Chains A and B, each alone.
Chain A
Amino acid sequence: MKKRLSVWLVLVCLLLLPILTACHGSKAMDPFVMPEEFDTTRQYEITFWAKNDTNMTQVNIYNKTIEDFQKLYPNITVNLRLYTDYGKIYNDVITNISTRTTPNVCITYPDHIATYMTGTNVMVPLNGLMEDGTYGLGGSALLFDGPTKEEIVPKFLEECSFGGAYYALPYMRSTEACYVNKTYVEKLGFTLPDKLTWDFVWEVSDAATAKNADGTYAVNGQNVMIPFIYKSTDNMMIQMLRQKEAGYSTASGEILLFHDTTEELLTTIAEHVEKGAFSTFKLSGYPANFLNAGQCIFGIDSTAGATWMGSDAPLVDISEENLVEFETVVMEIPQFDPENPVMISQGPSVCVFNKEDPQEVLASWLFTQYLLTNDVQIAYAQTEGYVPVTLKAQQSEAYTEYLSRAGEDNDLYYQIKMDATNLLLSHIDDTFVTPVFNGSASLRDAAGALIENVNKSVRRGQKVDAAYLEDLQADVLSLYRLNQSREVNGGLPELGRLPTASVVLLSSLAGVWCLIGLYLLREKIKKSGK
């Protein structure tokens, strides 16, 4: 009887084990497997989370794109959810991964995809889909004239490759530009060079802080003048470091942000903050608003913000009476070595999220490709200083004709916007992106925080010296968790400590197994003793 009981005990435990262990966390999604054929007899409803630059024309293009796509594929309904902030999309995606309610298709930044990829099979690797002869890029069964893989700008496509696989397609590309109030530069007695250097920008900015006896600024006669405003301080630090060929991170995720060059850069920035020559979007506001009000001379922002820049800008956020007339010039961002310019490549990409139903994923993929058709690419690129990501669109008659009409009006052909577009088109080979890994989004934030903190500290009367910079580094390391080990994309994510319930459960199981073992041992000893 005792022997039978022990066998039963073992059997029960073995049966319980998989059930109990299955309670810990939900089952990961199966990897996407390409269906043989797209089932057009079924209806699909997919969601597309898109970002616009607070620009209704872009919203209208998204709506028209969906409408046109649904005419081609009446069995696919695309539900659009609009955002004006990449960060908000990122936060919402993260929140929805655990509940498996991610969108099907999503506009995103590569750094964000690296975080999404820490979930098992959350993202669909696109290599198989791209290469598929039927539904892939340029595939035979597509109902639209999409680009082939070779027709996507190779550099832009490579920006979507992480850990040996593509996890996104580029959608639009931009870089940063320096929007210059040439009128004020000359009023201060300077001549704009062909290419901006950091030294020149600092020198003019310092000069612009001179005041009249009544306390107004000499250059504009106003009470406000922030000569140099940078919108994205993470880009500022990243590009300065790249121009100096100084470390930021390795491809595998090693953090190289903190070194002598970083300290030198921060010390220089602090000096100009002290003089009132520099500030940032986060602390003061949009470069465009200050530029257009004649309260800023160098505003660095995305080329995709060009329609907000200049006295005749089609999009303006300040009241008409505050607008000042001046000549705007679009220039490359300042360089340390102007003969070898270096600038960031940025702009939205599109990723596809995995779902239980491979047919739904295929429907998502079809829509994703449709975003790269000429009509969509050209229409969207025209809304801002964006560049289409396909050579097919860039070389099309419609696009070249559009570019040839620069300056014809202050709307579609707004000169500043066209100049910003041309800036990137002529510098695609000078652009770069930073390595993408789990944690690269935090590192980017940290790079910007260094400048933001220096800016704030100087204004608040703190001295930026070696001791300050040491403390700042420690604070930023800790706040952005840069001192923790991390796995690169494709590696196993850090899971953290097991929940208490799991620890109790696993301990109980271990205890039961020990008791069973002891019981069996005792029985064996008893038998051998007989």
Chain B
Amino acid sequence: MKKFFAILLTLTFVFALTSCGGGADPAAKSEGVMTYAEYDAAPLDSEVVIEAYVQAKQSWWEDKATVYAQDPDGAYFLYDMACSAEDYEKLTVGTKIKVTGYKGAWEGEVEIMDATFEIGEGTWVAEPTDVTALLANEAELIKHQNQLITCKGMTVEAVEYKNGEPGDDIYVTLSLDGNSYSFCVEMYLTGPDTEVYTTVGTLAAGDVVDVEGFLYWYQGVNTHITAVTKVG
């Protein structure tokens, strides 16, 4: 009898520990929740229900939050999602959320708008996907829209402050193999007090950099840079 209880106790502990450790499959979806493929296939203006993990918070104002979220299969831009100030604090990187809203597209950026959310159990943080080789292939690149990505060995062509001076967005043009690509340091996502904002401000034409960021879309790819490393 003692042995039985010991084994039962051990099994209970093992089960409990694995549950706490976030060992659940981050791609798994609750009932009634779309897979990324289903979300991707859903028409614009349709209602969508997704589960994903917060990767970055862009802004909060008057109970509306804009957030980058991702699961292992794809990413989501949650624009002006209903969110109290208190809940916004809970949306740390990796937090799992279930989001209900409408699929929309603004200037080519596919997003979920008029959304509400609830916080779920579990955490997961995305590793950046290297899309350097896809930059010239927009049809393939767009499949990674809103994902945390990295581009390596990019040459700086131009760095321009939106207002001609620090404070607002920074427009960055990077090139690879003779093609130019638009990037942006978005002040609400990474403002003037962040390392990436300062570092990008010091870049000069000809510098070679690796960048990390979210694959935002505005009339074409316009990645929001979150990290930059000068490599040459």
Q: Is the CB of B107 within 8 A of A82?
A: no
Which residues of A are found within 8 Å of B47, using beta-carbon distances? 460
In the complex, which of the residues A82, A91, A286, A318 contacts B163, with contact meaning CB atoms closer than 8 Å? A82
A117 to B: closest C-beta gap in Å:
21
Q: Is the CB of A60 within 8 A of B164?
A: yes
Which residues of A are found within 8 Å of B220, using beta-carbon distances? 319
Distance between Cα atoms of A322 and B219 in the complex (Å): 10
Which partner residue on chain A sits nearest B163 by CB separation?
A: A82
Q: Is A284 in contact with chain B by the CB < 8 A criterion? A: yes
Q: Is A431 in contact with chain B by the CB < 8 A criterion? A: no
Which residues of A are found within 8 Å of B102, using beta-carbon distances? 456, 460
A269-302 CB contacts (< 8 Å) to partner B: 283-286, 289
B88-117 CB contacts (< 8 Å) to partner A: 102, 104-108, 114
Q: Is A261 in contact with chain B by the CB < 8 A criterion? A: no
Which residues of B are found within 8 Å of A286, using beta-carbon distances? 107
Q: Is B86 in contact with chain A by the CB < 8 A criterion? A: no
Which residues of A are found within 8 Å of B164, using beta-carbon distances? 56, 59-60, 82
Q: Is B45 in contact with chain A by the CB < 8 A criterion? A: yes
Given A283-B104, A289-B107, A460-B45, A52–B219 Cβ distance below 8 Å? no
Interface string of A454-489 (1 = CB under 8 A from B): 001001110000000000000000000000000000
- The total of chain B residues at the interface (CB under 8 A) is 20
Q: Is A325 in contact with chain B by the CB < 8 A criterion? A: no
B139 to A: closest C-beta gap in Å:
14
**Interface bracket on A:** 20 to 34
Q: Is A268 in contact with chain B by the CB < 8 A criterion? A: no
Q: Is A150 in contact with chain B by the CB < 8 A criterion? A: no
B47 to A: closest C-beta gap in Å:
7
Q: Is A67 in contact with chain B by the CB < 8 A criterion? A: no
A-B contacts, 13 of them at CB < 8 A, read A52-B163, A56-B163, A59-B164, A59-B165, A84-B162, A84-B168, A283-B104, A284-B105, A286-B107, A289-B107, A317-B219, A460-B45, A461-B45
Distance between Cα atoms of A59 and B168 in the complex (Å): 13
Q: Is the CB of B45 within 8 A of A84?
A: no
Distance between Cα atoms of A286 and B165 in the complex (Å): 25
Distance between Cα atoms of A9 and B24 in the complex (Å): 70
Q: A283-B104, A459-B44 known; 19 other A-B pairs, CB under 8 Å?
A: A52-B163, A56-B163, A59-B165, A81-B167, A82-B163, A82-B165, A82-B167, A84-B163, A91-B61, A286-B107, A289-B107, A289-B219, A318-B219, A319-B219, A322-B219, A456-B45, A456-B114, A459-B45, A460-B45
Q: Is the CB of A54 within 8 A of B162?
A: yes
Q: Is the CB of B168 within 8 A of A82?
A: yes
B158-174 CB contacts (< 8 Å) to partner A: 162-165, 167-168
Which partner residue on chain B sits nearest A293 by CB separation?
A: B219
Distance between Cα atoms of A322 and B104 in the complex (Å): 22
Which residues of B are found within 8 Å of A56, using beta-carbon distances? 163-164
A321 to B: closest C-beta gap in Å:
10
Which partner residue on chain B sits nearest A63 by CB separation?
A: B164
Which residues of B are found within 8 Å of A317, using beta-carbon distances? 219
Which partner residue on chain A sits nearest B165 by CB separation?
A: A82
Which residues of B are found within 8 Å of A91, using beta-carbon distances? 61
Which partner residue on chain A sits nearest B182 by CB separation?
A: A319
Q: Is the CB of B162 within 8 A of A285?
A: no
A80-107 CB contacts (< 8 Å) to partner B: 81-84, 91
Question: Which 3 residue pairs across A and B have the least CB separation, nearest first?
Answer: A285-B107, A459-B45, A82-B163
Interface string of B59-81 (1 = CB under 8 A from A): 00100000000000000000000
Which partner residue on chain B sits nearest A54 by CB separation?
A: B162
Distance between Cα atoms of A318 and B219 in the complex (Å): 6
A290 to B: closest C-beta gap in Å:
9
A42-67 CB contacts (< 8 Å) to partner B: 52, 54, 56, 59-60
Which partner residue on chain A sits nearest B61 by CB separation?
A: A91
Interface string of A309-335 (1 = CB under 8 A from B): 000000001110010000000000000
A395 to B: closest C-beta gap in Å:
32
Which residues of A are found within 8 Å of B44, using beta-carbon distances? 459
Interface string of A184-219 (1 = CB under 8 A from B): 000000000000000000000000000000000000
